[in-house]
Amino acid sequence: MSAESGIPTYRGRGGIWSRYRWEEFACEAAFEADPEKVLKFHELRRASILACSPHAGHAAMAEWERNHPSVTVVTQNIDGMHQRAGSRNVMELHGSIWRLRCPDHGLFEDIGEAYRRRRCEKCGGWLRPDITWFGDALDEGRVNSALEAIRGCDLFVSIGTSGVVYPAAGLPRFAKANHARCIEINPEENEMSPLYDESIRDTASRALPKLFG
């Protein structure tokens, strides 16, 4: 979804981690060693995201939710593009780059290129981005909420996933177990493709407006 909006991916050719070492910018050890360095890196990411806009696929999903309030978006993306397009029921498995968190005082929304504050106003401790870094466990509550939504769905649409990054790669099986109709939108086939009832070999920006139009 995000790559079509111009947001660089993290992996693969030209991805973020082909230019930066995640060990220096995207793990708890790096943050503990130099929080200012890590936060400045994430401000660069925030600036690059704000320079991009949601595409027609994001808009189609938001419109579908407006017409069908039971629609739920489950995403691995941290960029908030679904919300910018108008989606409201969004479950972010890997967190959001637009939130900061204090281990003692919870989450703080922080939208903008630069952080409004870097330390918790209550305890003075450093605030870290509320995203899943290398070595982090996924938030159990978020995962369970996503599983509950998928186990109860009657239509499951997978968009542009590689089928290899877990736990998201395993989510279609929960929908299938509930006898949901499963549709894959992906220009390329992957090892999970045979699971789907229908595969659309196209990009999200072209396929979603047609599917939900």
pLDDT tens, the chain, 213 aa long: 999 999 988 876 678 888 899 999 999 999 999 999 999 999 999 999 999 999 999 999 999 999 999 999 999 999 999 999 999 999 999 999 999 999 999 999 999 999 999 999 999 999 999 999 999 999 999 999 999 999 999 999 999 887 666 677 788 899 999 999 999 999 999 888 999 999 999 999 999 999 987
CATH number of the domain enclosing 60: 3.40.50.1220
Bridge-based pairing state of the strands 106-109 and 181-185: unpaired
Global pTM value? 0.91
Other Cβ atoms less than 10 A from the Cβ of 209: the count is 16
Q: In terms of residue numbers, what domain contains 182?
A: 3-212
Q: Which of 55, 58, 94, 179 is catalytic?
A: 94
Q: Is 105 considered catalytic here?
A: no
CB 129 within 8 A of CB 100: yes
Distance CA 180, CA 165 (A): 22
Indicate the number of domains in the chain: 1
CB 183 within 8 A of CB 211: yes
